[in-house]
């Protein structure tokens, strides 16, 4: 099969070898979980439990507020011991419900299977997805019930399932595709049925031939098309994925919906299946734990709210003293300041720990105008120029050269031989442009 791609981007060293062939392991129940109420894009959920309340696994503990928000569920059964304020991996402050496990994992819902989703009405499907608190699990965490309902005048013609997993180190989506293909395909079928889309593509980078084979075989029955993609970063960025598969450009400032497309992550598809066919809300996910400081890198199935410190214990602790810990992938993830009170959220695709040597910063130089950043930017911007304008405070000029189109993928900063803080500066410039607009 020919592998498709987009113009720009860069083949980044993958570092997936230590976990890509490891089957997922279910991590035992932690003794307590800390569940932030803001795990998604949009309004934080409102707590509907209080101290000393008994809760069961899958019970709503945070009620979504408004349309762009998501429900939050208890991820184990036990007692609410307190509601505290925590830092989420994205650096936001959020209140969080702390639940002490009773060790029973008693379910709040009836997990009997209902495979006859074909008979379900649209309203029922979207209600189930909404109730289950499903959000984009690739890391973007945009509420799925919002993404699946196009605004008036827009139509979803095509669904693209994102199995590119272009971030180095991460193998959670890869394992989902290999280990849960049936569940995932049914989830996709439900999404297709709900949206009325005509066509479904499943895009997978060609560094995962096993996943491509399995899904090609199994998706025949559903008439989904599996597309092999070149292993190139950021192949999984929505706009680039659409460009690679459909040769269409999402207009600047627009959404995939503008070209009739909605993109869903493979993990999200599985979560939809769990919700619709197993009544199971989203309180558990697959996380890749890797990096050179981790003794035993793993792909784990873990409850939302599990503290990072517990996860490191489960992975045999550190073989090298970590100097940097990242929630998410190394290209777009967030480095976190401490591991206590820091817990897995619905968007945590990976947890990486790097030693001092591995995370050492490169020597900084002035920009030598080598044009690598220009040549590899997937949005075809001029990152070096935006950085310079931002540095000089010329935000209007920066806007003119499309600073706002930057998706913060990090490709420019990765390839820059002078180690310019390009993404950092562009992010700042973007925020200034937006501030100036709102004034």
**Identified binder of other proteins from the candidate list 139, 203, 281, 378, rule CB under 8 A:** 378
Q: Judged by CB under 8 A, does residue 413 bind other proteins?
A: yes
The smaller minimum CB distance to ligand SF4, of residues 97 and 413, is found at 413
Is residue 254 within 8 A of residue 260, CB to CB? The reply is: no
Task: Kindly state the smallest distance separating residue 248's Cβ from other proteins, in Å.
Answer: 6
Q: Which does 359 bind (CB under 5 to 8 A by kind): ligand SF4, other proteins, none?
A: other proteins
Q: Which residues bind ligand SF4 (CB under 6 A)?
A: 367-373, 377-379, 381, 383-384, 406-412, 415-418, 420, 422-423, 426
The smaller minimum CB distance to ligand SF4, of residues 84 and 401, is found at 401
Task: Kindly state the smallest distance separating residue 278's Cβ from other proteins, in Å.
Answer: 35
Q: Looking at residues 255 to 284 of the shown chain, list those that interact with other proteins (rule: CB under 8 A).
A: 259
Binding piece for other proteins, criterion CB under 8 A, among 138-146, 151-159, 173-181, 402-410 = 402-410
Binding piece for other proteins, criterion CB under 8 A, among 61-69, 152-160, 190-198, 378-386 = 378-386
Task: Kindly state the smallest distance separating residue 242's Cβ from ligand SF4, in Å.
Answer: 15
The smaller minimum CB distance to other proteins, of residues 168 and 203, is found at 168
The smaller minimum CB distance to ligand SF4, of residues 33 and 412, is found at 412
**Identified binder of other proteins from the candidate list 330, 347, 350, 390, rule CB under 8 A:** 330
Task: Return d(Cα 375, Cα 386) in angstroms, integer.
Answer: 14
**How does 145-161 read in b/e, with b if 16+ C-beta sit within 10 Å?**
bbbbbeeeeeebebbbb
Count other Cβ atoms within 10 Å, centred on residue 184. Answer: 27
Which residues on adjacent β-strands are paired with residue 160? 201, 263
Task: Return d(Cα 224, Cα 71) in angstroms, integer.
Answer: 30
**Identified binder of other proteins from the candidate list 58, 322, 347, 350, rule CB under 8 A:** 322
Q: Judged by CB under 8 A, does residue 402 bind other proteins?
A: yes
The smaller minimum CB distance to ligand SF4, of residues 63 and 335, is found at 335
Site string for other proteins, 168-207 (x = CB under 8 A): x---------------------------------------
The smaller minimum CB distance to ligand SF4, of residues 133 and 139, is found at 139
The answer, yes or no, to whether the previous bond of 234 is cis (omega within 30 of 0) is: yes
- The dihedral of CA 47, 49, 52, 57: what is its sign? negative
Eight-class DSSP state of 352: E
The smaller minimum CB distance to other proteins, of residues 106 and 249, is found at 249
Closest CA to 279 of 114, 124, 143, 117: 114
The smaller minimum CB distance to other proteins, of residues 109 and 334, is found at 334
Task: Return d(Cα 420, Cα 412) in angstroms, integer.
Answer: 9
Instruction: Give how far the C-alpha of residue 200 lies from the chain's centroid of Cα atoms, to the nearest Å.
Output: 20
Eight-class DSSP state of 260: T
Contacts of 77 (CB under 8 A, 6+ apart): 54, 55, 56, 57, 101, 102, 104, 105, 106, 107, 108
Task: Return d(Cα 368, Cα 384) in angstroms, integer.
Answer: 10
The per-residue DSSP string of 51-79 comes to: TT-EE-BT-EEEE--SSSB--EE-SSSEE
Task: Return d(Cα 368, Cα 216) in angstroms, integer.
Answer: 46
Tokens matching residue 56: 């069961």
Task: Kindly state the smallest distance separating residue 154's Cβ from ligand SF4, in Å.
Answer: 25
The smaller minimum CB distance to other proteins, of residues 126 and 339, is found at 339
End-to-end CA distance of the chain: 52
Closest CA to 299 of 134, 142, 170: 170
The smaller minimum CB distance to ligand SF4, of residues 323 and 407, is found at 407
Q: Judged by CB under 8 A, does residue 149 bind other proteins?
A: no
Is residue 289 within 8 A of residue 172, CB to CB? The reply is: no
Tokens matching residue 323: 């100097």
Q: Judged by CB under 8 A, does residue 366 bind other proteins?
A: yes
Is residue 145 within 8 A of residue 128, CB to CB? The reply is: no
Task: Kindly state the smallest distance separating residue 188's Cβ from other proteins, in Å.
Answer: 25
Q: Which does 375 bind (CB under 5 to 8 A by kind): other proteins, ligand SF4, none?
A: other proteins
The size of the interface with other proteins (CB under 8 A), counted in residues, is 70
Task: Kindly state the smallest distance separating residue 164's Cβ from ligand SF4, in Å.
Answer: 16
- Chain residues binding other proteins by CB under 8 A are 8, 10, 12-13, 168, 239, 243, 248-254, 259, 321-326, 330-339, 352, 354, 359, 361-363, 365-372, 374-375, 378-382, 384-385, 401-402, 405, 408, 410, 413-419, 421, 423-424, 427
């Amino acid at each position: 099969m020919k592998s498709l791609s987009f113009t720009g981007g860069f083949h980044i060293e993958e570092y997936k070898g230590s976990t890509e062939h490891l089957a997922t392991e279910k991590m035992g129940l932690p003794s307590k979980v800390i569940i932030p109420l803001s795990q998604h894009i949009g309004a934080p959920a409102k707590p509907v439990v209080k101290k000393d309340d008994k809760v069961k696994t899958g019970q709503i503990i945070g009620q979504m507020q408004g349309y762009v928000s998501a429900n939050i569920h208890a991820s184990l059964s036990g007692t609410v011991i307190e509601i505290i304020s925590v830092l989420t991996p994205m650096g936001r402050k959020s209140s969080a419900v702390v639940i002490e496990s009773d060790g029973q994992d008693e379910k709040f819902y009836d997990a009997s299977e209902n495979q006859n989703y074909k008979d379900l009405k649209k309203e029922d499907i979207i209600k189930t997805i909404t109730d289950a608190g499903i959000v984009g699990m690739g890391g973007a965490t945009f509420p799925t019930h919002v993404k699946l309902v196009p605004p008036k005048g827009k139509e979803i013609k095509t669904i693209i399932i994102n199995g590119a997993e272009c971030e180095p180190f991460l193998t959670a989506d890869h394992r989902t595709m290999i280990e849960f293909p049936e569940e995932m395909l049914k989830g996709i079928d439900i999404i297709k049925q709900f949206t009325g889309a005509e066509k479904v593509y499943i895009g997978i980078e060609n560094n995962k031939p096993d996943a491509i084979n399995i899904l090609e075989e199994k998706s025949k029955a559903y008439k989904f098309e599996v597309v092999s993609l070149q292993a190139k970063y950021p192949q999984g960025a929505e706009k680039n994925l659409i460009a690679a598969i459909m040769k269409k450009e999402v207009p600047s400032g627009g959404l995939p919906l503008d070209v009739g497309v909605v993109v869903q992550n493979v993990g999200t598809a599985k979560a939809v299946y769990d919700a619709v066919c197993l009544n199971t809300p989203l309180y558990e996910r697959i996380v890749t734990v890797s990096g050179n400081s981790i003794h035993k890198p793993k792909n784990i199935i873990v409850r939302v709210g599990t503290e990072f410190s517990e996860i490191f214990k489960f992975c045999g602790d550190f073989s090298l003293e970590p100097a940097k810990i990242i929630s998410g992938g190394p290209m777009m993830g967030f480095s976190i300041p401490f591991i206590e009170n820091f817990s897995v959220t619905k968007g945590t695709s990976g947890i990486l720990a790097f030693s001092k040597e591995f995370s050492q910063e490169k020597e900084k130089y002035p920009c030598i105008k080598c044009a690598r950043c220009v040549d590899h930017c997937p949005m075809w911007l001029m990152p070096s120029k935006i950085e310079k304008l931002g540095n000089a405070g010329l935000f209007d000029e920066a806007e003119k050269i499309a600073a706002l189109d930057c998706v913060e993928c990090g490709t420019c900063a990765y390839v820059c031989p002078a180690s310019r803080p390009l993404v950092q500066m562009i992010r700042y410039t973007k925020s200034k442009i937006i501030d100036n607009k709102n004034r």
